[in-house]
Structures are given as structure tokens and as C-alpha cells.
Structure 1
Amino acid sequence: MAYDAVLLSGFGGPEGQQDVLPFLRNVTRGRGIPDDRLEAVAHHYRAFGGVSPINEQNRELKRALRTALAQAGLDLPVYWGNRNWAPYLDEALEQAAKDGVRTMIAVPTSAYSSYSSCRQYREDWADALEASGLQSTLQIDKVRQFFSHPGFIQPFIDGVREAVAAALQAGHDPAATEVLFSTHSIPTDDAARSGAGLFTGVEGGGYAAQHLAVAEEVMAKAAPGLAWQLVYQSRSGPPSQPWLEPDINDALEALRGRTAVVVVPIGFVSDHMEVMWDLDTEAHETASRLGLWFARTPTPGTHPDFVDALVDLVQERIAGRAAGERANATSIGPWFDVCRPGCCENPRLGFKPAIAGLQP
């Protein structure tokens, strides 16, 4: 497939105190949540001057990706559009169309299968095409879920190696050190529908299975023999709705015989607010209260291996590379180019068109 451009697609974030509430209203639109309840989350952003780091991180990723594409001999401009804050997706698509772009390969800033980490992006692109009147003008395809790509996994391997070495240097025995792989919690019903029906009946569905596969690869390469577990963070639903557990703070409380903990934000591409607040602030405070030595490893960000992986994902689609020839480091990859019908759908929101595939 020949493409005219790359679409980098993100969540978005406020860039000043005046942006915080409007941004949170965008995130929760349609749910009728009053501003006084939104302020309970707003203080996370206000503690950092009302600025989420995610937009600047995506600017840096856009620059790095553009440079790496050029170095690979790919003359593809990179457009960037967000779900919840400027630059918005419809604006990015309108500009692309004005520039003569007709086919785009989209790179979401999320590596795994679930409604919020995959299908919602596909729905967002459909909405943006409709809002800009470009449904018959612009085609958007999506790179495969890239959780299993070695270039995504390598930054976590590097981080765990360095953190475990630091724990040992600080005098902590390997038997007293535990690695916690943390990702965003999602409703258990959503988790059960993730993974294209390949993990029906498996606890946590494809979402948990993919994270576990990555964690296994990281530990095998970085710290074989050390204790580890998959934990969750940042749940936001009503108490009556089951979400994936354990929460990282509950997992820290439950540790026994440990003096050091290494936290790996395996579910995240960059050090955005949920990493900085939920891990660097809240989880760190919990560990300190429990007397645990604490280290948090970096996210991929603009790590050269990660940026090269994104270029490789574009190249494999341009070349029509066979599945067996694609970069993959886990037992359950590489993933599909085209999501299966109904994969990761959210019945609570009703059926919505989702592009970047042959069927919705």
C-alpha cells in the first residue's frame, strides 16, 4: 500500500490552568459529570501548573518520527491530531487534505488491544472524517498493535536492568526485590471483549494477555528469576463497575518480605500525567510509607529503538510484509493489520463506526 502521510494520534492534554476544566469536559463528554467532580481530577494537573506533559512529548515524538522516516528514505509528512485537546484530529485531517494527502497510515500512542487503547481511536478517526466532510476523500489505515514489537519492548528491558542494578547497589537482595508492571485499568467487561475473540474466557482477555506477554519478555531479558506481577492504575469508573485489579497501591500494601520495588509503566508510551501522578506521586508515596526502596523505569518516549519501531510498522505496510517476516518478540504476535468485526466494542456507548479496517 502506498501512503501519502503518517497520522500521529494522541489523547491530548491541557497546556495551562485555564485549559484544565475544558479539557476534562472533553474527556468526559456525554457522561454528565459536574465540574465539582471534575475538580477531583483537575488537581492532578493543577499541581503541575495546569500543564500535561503529553502534548510536548508528542511534539518531540513527531519530530523524531519525521527525522527517522527521512533517514529510512520515506518521504512522508507527519500530521498530529488529538482526541481531547488541540491540535484536534479533524483539524489535522483538514490540513492534510488541503495539502493533497489522500491516504494516511495512522500511529496511535497506544500499543495494546482494548476499547480505549485501540477501537476508540478508530472511532475517533471515523468521527473526524465525518466532521470534516472527508469520508470520500481521505483513507486512514492503522498500524497493527505494536505491543510485541522489539523496539517497543527494548526501552522497558533497558529500564528494568538499570533499576534492578540500582537496587542491588543500594544493598537490596534480589530475593527482596519485586518488579511491578503497571498499566491503565479498564472495566472487566471491556477486557473480556479485547483481543479479537482469541482470549474468550481468559481473565483480563487479550488486554491482560498482551501485557503479560510483554512483561514475560522483559523479565526474561532483563532480570530472570526476580519476582514480578502485573498491576493496574488510574481506574475512574463508578464503584459498582468491576475493573481490572489489583491496583498498584493495593499490590504494594500486600507485598511481604520485600525491601525494594521496581515499577515499570508497561502500558504507556510516554511519561504523561497518569505516570507522573499515579506512579511518581501516589505509588511512590505508598512505597515510602511502607519503607520500600522505589524506582520507576522510563517509558519508550523518543527512545531510538521505539522510534525505529514505528518506522518499521509503516514500512511493513508499504511493503506488504508477510506476518512471519515481521518484527515480533512475544508468543502472541505479531498482531493483525485489520481488527476483527466488533473487536473491543463498547456496548455501553452503543455501536459506532470504526474505520481503519475492512469491517466495523
Structure 2
Amino acid sequence: MTEELPESDRVPGAPHPRNAASVIGHDHAVQEFLASAQAHRLHHAWLITGPRGIGKATLAWALARWLLAEGQADDLHIPPEHPVARRISALSEPRVNLVRRGFDAKTGRLKAEIGVEDIRALLSFFHMSAAEGGHRVAIVDAADQMNNSAANALLKVLEEPPQGGVILLIAHQPARLLPTIRSRCRELRLSPLPADTMRQVLAGLGTEEDAEALAALSAGSVGEALRLAGQDGLKVYGQIIACFDTLPRFDRIKARAFAEAAGGRATAEGDPFDLRITLLDLFLTRLARSGLMGAPIPEAAAGEGALMARLCPDAEAARIWAEAQSDLSARARAGRAVNLDPAALVMDMLIQLAGLAPAHMKA
């Protein structure tokens, strides 16, 4: 059996967005696209924007299926047994071209960016006559991962749109795109999913037991929730709560165990150091917010609410914790970038935070 290669546009352990049964929580964007198609004013390039993991790629693939299967005017749904849906699921639909960061066989890793050769392949795709006529669809996931040469090559495509072609650009950070690219696209701006919708989606993906806590930590991003689930993120977040729960006495044994785990080897599921820094960022963000809005509901770990009420009782404490979050996580990531010991970086961050606590704790 050949090993399945990693896909840059897929959360490890989760279904690929092209296999999602439906688009949930983005009705306004769906209706905007359908209204444009119904009025026979379908734009040739659509920029689908919003935070990572909220369903942008799911929407893009649903739009591609609908266009190529010539779906109903008021609904994006295409039955999974439809020939177009089956070919798209297998990545064998000749009228769809997917542009994404590829796998580099020499390094054994995904490439860091989308290169000009990937966009040149897109030019060839549009210049070929479609075997079945009608639309041809290109999906670029994600457009903000293009290098400068690739972006300039894409701009040429947008300036001379191909007949019957529709380009769907996914962007987590649209500000990184050339202004000339953004100006030639019609934007569909997606928002993070509300908590109830998050729980519905996560339950459908088999994480029903932890759906509420994952929804609380992932800020409306299903992709981020699945990443956390795949790396035991809730357990790790619980360890953060345990590290600080004994303050003002600092539990160095628990802190050391937490920090040493940051030195583990990165896998396809994620990097232990990045996970711990990300969750510490989340902890501090939720902590600062609790000083302004009250302890978080729902809790992401047992005892979180009570701890935050003690550590951040007012707006002044919230300001201190927010400044700490910005400073310490940036220092930790900078240290990791120059190959400093990840365990030492995390331990230092924990010690610094523990040192801040007594001055701001509620007795």
C-alpha cells in the first residue's frame, strides 16, 4: 500500500473539503453567488475570504460542483452520487483545476508557497477546450500563499478572463494579495461560525463529546477545532489550567512536564511546540477577556472559569495579561525560529506568567 501524501488544503485526520456534504452557516454568501448566476452576471473571479478553517474551501468546492453539474437555481446541493460529484471527490473531474502547495519529494515536506509553475499550469488548463463544454473552474487554496511571481502570473489570467472560466480564490489573509488581484475579484466574505453551528458541525464530524469545549477554543473555526482534536488539544489546554491553578504557588513539576513535551517531534498532525504556544495564547486571550466580560462560558477545561476570575478580576489586570500575551508569545516564536530549545522557551514563558500573577490575583 502506498502512503497517502499530505495535502496542504486539508486538516490532518479530517475529510477534505471537497467531500463535505453541504455548506453550513454561510447562507448569505451562497445566496449572493446564486443571485449573480441567476441574473446571468456571473463574475469570472471570486475571492472567498475569512479566518482559517471556517468553511471557505467547503464553499468553493460546493460552488464548483454546482456550476459543473448545472444545479438548481436556489440550492447548491448536488447529490453525492452525481457523476460530477463523484469525479470531484476523486480529483478526476477534467473541468476542475486545483492549485495548492504541492508535496516536495526531495524534502519530504509540503512546499512553503505556491510557485509560478503552478499558475502556469492553470494557464494551460484554461486554454484547453473543455471536453464537455460549459464552465471550467479553478480553485486556488490559498491565494495568499502565492509567491510574487505566481501572483503576477495570476494577475495576467484575471486581466484576460478565459471564456467560460470561473476562478475561486481562497484567502485567509486577503491583505497579503496584490491590490490589483483583489480589485479584479468579487469578494465573498465569510464570518466565524456561531457556537451553536460549530457544535452542529463538529458533532457531524464525530467530535460530539468534546464539541462544546472545542467550539469555545476555536473561535468559530471548524478547521482549528479539528486540529486541536487531532492533537489532544483539550488535554493540553487542561494542563495549562493545572499549571496555574495552584498560584500564587507555582507548580514547577507540572510546568516542567508541560514544557518538556514541547520538545517532541513534529508529525503530520502538528508541532507540539506550536500547539502549546497557540494554546497559551488562547489562554491569555481568554484570561484578559474575562477581566472585561466575566469568566468564559462555556469553559474549555474544568476549573477554567474559577481560575480566570482569580487571576483577572478587573480591567487593569486584563490590560497586563493582554500585554503579556503579545510580548511573551512573540519572544517564544522568535526564539524557536533561531532553533533555541523549545522546552526552555515554553518553561521561560510559564515562569514569566507565574511571576505576573500574584500582583493581579484576587484574594
* TM-score in terms of structure 2 length: 0.28
**Structure 1 or 2: larger strand share?**
1
Q: Which is greater in Rg?
A: 2
**Structure 1 or 2: larger helix share?**
2
The one of the two structures with greater contact order (alpha-carbon pairs below 8 A, sep at least 6) is 1
